[in-house]
Amino acid sequence: MKRLTAWVAGVCTAVLCAALTAALPHQAAAATLTEVTGFGANPGNLRMHVYAPDNRPARPAIVLAMHGCGGSGPGLYSGSEFASLADRYGFVVVYPSASKKGNCFDSWSAESHVRGGGSDPVSLMSMITYTLERFGGDAGRVFVTGTSAGGMETNIMLGNYPDVFKAGAVFMGVPHSCFANEADYIPSPGASDCASGRVSRTPQQWGDLVRAAYPGYTGARPRVQLWHGTNDTLVYYATLQQQIDQWTNVFGLSQTPTSTDTPQANWNRRRYADSTGTVKVEAYGIQGAGHSLPSSGMAAAAIQFFGLTDSGPTSTPTPPTGACRVTYTPSTWNNGFTAAVTIANTGPADVNGWTLAWAWPGNQRITNAWNATATQQGAQVTARNAPYNATVAAGAAVTFGFQATYSGTNTAPAQFALNGTACSPAA
């Protein structure tokens, strides 16, 4: 079977990552992705980058965000929505870069499975400690998230350091201590027993692995949000249930959800609440999705789960609601069309870095784009700025285009969101 070169969508090439890193300054600066050296004990030989938005409170929350195999911290910064969400809600994002097995975070070694054992988790904790001190962070609002290898490491950090993290969001992960050793950590479809969901344990046994990471710990546990695509052929969908079994057992909850719903099309959510109604575990099965999460809107859902949307910065975010307008102009032929999309910034402040998201009402599918990078998962589309048109000045506009296919009726999207904020469609 053909070996995959990466475990996560959005990974940049080695040349691009090197170019990004080379362009970064080595001293901390607000609103700039900044590399930090000398951040503390670093047995995992990781690199650290930080994004601290200009608009943040005196004691900001901290989010540790980890890439997948083959990726980098700068790659996740440029290929995800966490930085734009940080601008909106005023938290600081730590982007580590892994160095093992083609840039994968270590979730397979015995050292990584226990608190203070060494390897990558200890390096990651050094980054958290540094960031709390450097930016005066709120130690009661530290969170962790990651995709694929980063999602696996998210479960590791939640189990090893439950007293540090308030909550975590895991995209395409596996349970804590799922890998028996490095030999099973194989980034190829079906090759790994753990990643293929073939490790058979009861909820109690899965839970015991978390409890063994910090023996004797009796304090509060971080809440957990889990995401997985039903068509993931690299880290199989079966691992989602294993993670549910693990964390519900850790919380002493039933494996039967207390509620189920579909908050968006193809997002099937199960929630597991305690006797007070507090949701401790939340699991999303994304219908039809492969190994490609998070897609549009999912990072925002994670930040909302963390509670960071309720206590953002006091000044007006950019862009505020209603401060943008989208003009969508399609040109249709038999089973195909092109479209020009103009984003007008009608607000008082510049938009620095933009992501435009929408959902198709039909079966439209984008085949290529210009002046933007467009990705599609099911009906959800995300278009991100090119390097040369990232800034949309107040009162100005930017236009990009794409080509797509369809069958039936080519109905225009009903609404758009710019950097997660609803945008008014032009009449």
Consecutive H or E run containing 125: helix 119-135
Q: How many residues does the chain have?
A: 427
Q: Is the peptide bond before 294 cis (omega within 30 degrees of 0)?
A: yes
Q: How far is CA 362 from the centre of its chain?
A: 27
Query: Considering the domain boundaries, does residue 1 fall inside one?
Result: no
**Is-above-0.75 flag for pTM?**
no
Q: Which of 310, 334, 353 is the last residue of a domain?
A: 310
- Residue burial 46-70, b: 16+ Cβ < 10 Å; e: rest: bbbbbbbbebbeeebbbbbbbbbbb
Same structural domain for residues 55 and 124? yes
Q: Of the candidates 252, 277, 310, which is a domain's last residue? A: 310
Residue 8 within any structural domain of the chain: no
Reference 147, options 229, 240, 67; nearest CA is 67
Q: Among candidates 291, 303, 282, 284, which has minimal Cα distance to 83?
A: 303
Q: Is 7 left (phi over 0), alpha (psi -120 to 50) or beta?
A: alpha
Residue 70 and residue 102 in one domain: yes
The verdict on 271 and 341 lying in the same domain is: no
pLDDT, tens digit (0-9, with 9 covering 90-100), for 74-120: 999 999 999 999 999 999 999 999 999 999 999 999 999 999 999 99
Whether residues 276 and 336 share a domain: the answer is no
Within a domain: 319 = no
Count of domains for the chain: 2
Whether 299 and 422 have beta carbons less than 8 Å apart is answered as: no
Is residue 223 assigned to a domain?
A: yes
> Hey, what are 288's tokens?
């039809």
CATH number of the domain encompassing residue 371: 2.60.40.290
Block means of pLDDT (10 residues each) for the chain, 427 residues, are 36 33 36 92 97 93 97 95 94 97 96 97 97 94 97 98 97 98 92 96 98 95 97 97 98 96 94 93 97 94 92 38 78 85 86 86 88 82 82 87 89 86 73
3-state secondary structure 74-86: HHHHHHCCHHHHH
Token pair listed for 347: 């607000």
Domain enclosing residue 188, as ranges: 14-310
333 and 272 co-located in one domain = no
Which residues make Cβ contacts (< 8 Å) with residue 363, sequence separation at least 6?
Answer: 406, 407, 408
Same domain, residue pair 96 and 148: yes
pLDDT of the residue at 364: 92
The residues near 169 (Cβ < 8 Å, ≥ 6 apart) are: 143, 144, 145, 154, 225, 226, 227, 302, 305, 306
- Are 197 and 235 found together in one domain? yes
Contact 62, 94 (CB under 8 A): yes
My answer on whether 152 and 258 are in the same domain is yes
Is residue 114 assigned to a domain? yes
> What DSSP letter does each residue of 272-321 carry, written as one string?
EE-TTS-EEEEEEEETT--S--S-TTHHHHHHHHHTGGGS--SSPPSSPT
Instruction: Indicate which CATH number applies to the domain containing 90.
Output: 3.40.50.1820
* Pairwise CA distance, residues 418 & 222, whole Å: 31
Q: Which of 107, 109, 148, 196 is catalytic?
A: 148
pLDDT of residue 126: 97
> What is the reported pLDDT for 35?
97
C-alpha span between 339 and 330 (Å, rounded): 4
Could you tell me if 287 and 358 lie in one domain? Answer: no
Phi, psi of 47 (to 5 degrees): -105, 155
Are 296 and 376 in contact by the 8 Å Cβ rule? The answer is no
Check whether residue 304 and residue 336 sit in a common domain: no
Q: Are residues 201 and 283 in the same domain?
A: yes
Tell whether 317 is covered by a domain. no
Q: Note whether 249 and 258 are within 8 A (CB).
A: no
What pLDDT does residue 331 have?
85
Tell me, yes or no, whether 361 and 278 share the same domain.
Answer: no
Is 148 annotated as catalytic? yes
The reply to whether 23 falls in a domain is: yes
Q: Is 170 among the domain residues?
A: yes
Residue where one domain finishes, among candidates 256, 280, 310:
310
The pLDDT of residue 178: 98
